[in-house]
Structure 1
Amino acid sequence: MKTESPFKARSPYLAAELARRARLIDAVAKAGVYVAIPINLAVIPTLMVAYSREMVAVTALCLAMIPCCLLVRQLVRRGRVDPAAWFSILGGMTILFLNSQLVASLNPLLVPGFLVLIIAANLFLRPPYPYAVATAAAGLYLLERLMRLGGLAAQENPIAADVFLTTATMVAFIFVAFLNQLITSDLYRALDDATHNLQEANRKLAQASELKSQFTARTSHELRTPLSSIIAFTDLALRDSYGSLAPKLRDALTYVFNSSRHLKDIINDLLDLSKIEAGQLQMSDEAVSLPKLVEAVVGVAAPIAAEKGLKWSIAVSPDMPHEFRGDSSRLEQILLNLTGNALKYTEKGSVSLSIDRIGSERWRVEVRDTGAGIPEDQFEAIFQAYRQLEGTASPSKVKGTGLGLAITRHLVRLMGGTIHVDSTLGKGSTFTVDLPLRPNGSAG
């Protein structure tokens, strides 16, 4: 059984490049057949008028172009692209050189013919082989000049040469135009193929993302229903609704209750992210009570700060209106995500929340902490889903899902706001959110 060499490159680029070279070689070989026909039609009648052994040889070489081109096409169709390229280029150089030696009047064809073959070598062969072709052409040209200087000049046949040169020149004009058009067409084809492949890949990625979002949304919904029941009944049990509890049982149920709420928060984050990625998250437009918003944040943040021994403070500017338009639940989610993140990764010191008015149309939320800080080169990474920074977590090794800040940024942008972070390692971080301020009564 034949085994493929492990050192043989099999990249998609090489496969596409090989296919491109095969198309070019096959097209040029096919054109070579049509080029050889008018050349032979001009040479054969000339042979009858100016017969000589040299002209017979020239005619034979010109006729040989047709089977050579057909052989090149067969090699390409069998996948022998490199042999086909070398055969076509070296064969063409040989025919040109021999013709110039048989009939001296054909010497003017040598240099332009070699130049065309060098251009073809750049299309047919991979680097650095075109340099080898150019070197061989230079060597043959030098040999021809030395033979002429040494008195080994070929026979002169002005009549045959004039007919041959005229025909070859006319055909050369058409062939060069064909070669240019062939290169342009091949480039357009490659561009069309690449565009089609890219569009197809994007379509498949979009479809996969859509399926993933649908799966996440459905799964999250199915998980939340029984989880809500667990939380509700556990809460009732902890309130002694089913009778008094033994201390150990109360501790166990408390652990179940807290873990269930944490799991529900994770599921809610996954559901929100799937809606955001699918473009299905809708923002409400309702009256937002600032005192209630602050109360909700304090109710969650203050106990956590007290448990960790952190100084917790909140400051609300008197310039802020008591009510304004927005999505109350999503604003609460933004504030809780930012303050919760600060409390989670701060082991000593303080966490503060400030709410200020900026001009008449904007308001600002600022959360400061004295945690470990964030490296500047990772400011963008913290807002990416499922990304967590290594080496900046608190000593308690508290870990989250890496979704909180990603969801927060999406929500802020959906509200028409901005969010940015400023941090110093070892000193803490500051998250700043600027949002549009719409007074209550200006719905829409």
Structure 2
Amino acid sequence: MPLLSLGSKPVHIPLADRLRPTEFNAVYGQEHLIFNGSMIENMINSGHISSLILWGPPGCGKTTIARILAEKVGYHFQSISAVTSGTSEIRNIFSKAEERKRLGFGTVLLIDEIHHFNRTQQDIFLPHIENGTIVLVGATTENPSFELNSALLSRCKVLILNRLDHFALQKIADRAEQLCSKSLPLTEEAKSLLFDLADGDGRYLLNMCEILFDLNTTNTLSSPELLAIIQKKRPLYDKSRDGHYNLISALHKSLRGSDCDASLYWLSRMLEGGDNPLYIIRRLVRCAIEDIGLADPNALTQALAAKEAYELLGSPEGELGIAQATIYLATAPKSNAVYTAFKNANSDAKRYSSLMPPKHILNAPTKMMKDHGYSDGYTYDHNTKEGFSGQSYFPESMERNKYYKPIERGFEREIQSRLLYWEQLRQKAKSSK
């Protein structure tokens, strides 16, 4: 295990740092950003770097790309973390960068986790980017559209990095084995599991490889034995940020698309990430109303029952009730007829917002109101043969509109037959006048 001597105390250098690529051909999984006429390749050829925002998951190569790019173009490279750095440190960096600029040298300033700077802190960089004192490279795992202010974004080009796939992780593991002159003590099945556990994070993979190398075992580990040694990487998920909204969108659209298995997967991802189960249930209730409606009126009952079950049982038992409601909603017939009907009715309500109801359906508790025709001609529906009078209930100056149009699925098929029956009676009553 390589060590640096710091006085009398040796310092361990992590495998991930020892293996950090110094050339782009060792950066795996991001070929779309580096080669074949890419923006980065053009920057190297021109000898000029534009300010960048590198957006991608942890351990995909953001810092490495920034470092190699600065070296290729001959800029001084400096990195800080938005989590630990303050304004005074940043102003000191600006001062030294200005000295380099006067001497004809450029400075690339990498800010890791740049989304942790608030809007005011982000504004500090604007004049120094404008006058060329620094080239800013911001690294973030969060959507820049949400986390960075528009002024900063307009001065940077956003490059999206991929989550590392199994092929890229295999290449990184191969390099680790070559550097350490050791083979990972794993069966092929266990090695595949190792890549699954890394979850696209190259740095996390190398940390796990280092643990395995340090075992100094001659035995080949199976998948269960690997799991006993290494814990799975915590899911990349911030329930207050972009990941939260991506996953709830995926869950809702899977439910709407009647994909039961995908719905359960995204539900599990959210629960595993520590999301509030009551928030998820609120989305299930919304889905039951918006995407199922009267095609299956019991869908709303199931969603609300999941809330009661969770509040009664708590976690983890109550989460089974959420899973049951998820399955019910995913497999229920779908209709947005209620949603569309209400939206269209609301549009007309705004358009005809001052029209009075027809006088025949207004109560007439006073003589004056009776003299003005209130309640005149109203027919009590229960006194008719069919229990349906066929009278108009729209404002007199407004044409009748049809908002609710049920579909031929689920219970709405029955509702459609009812509406058709009443429409026939309405036409019959109209023709008899």
Q: Normalising by structure 1, what TM-score? A: 0.24
Larger radius of gyration: 1
Structure richer in helix, relative to its length: 1
Q: Normalising by structure 2, what TM-score? A: 0.24
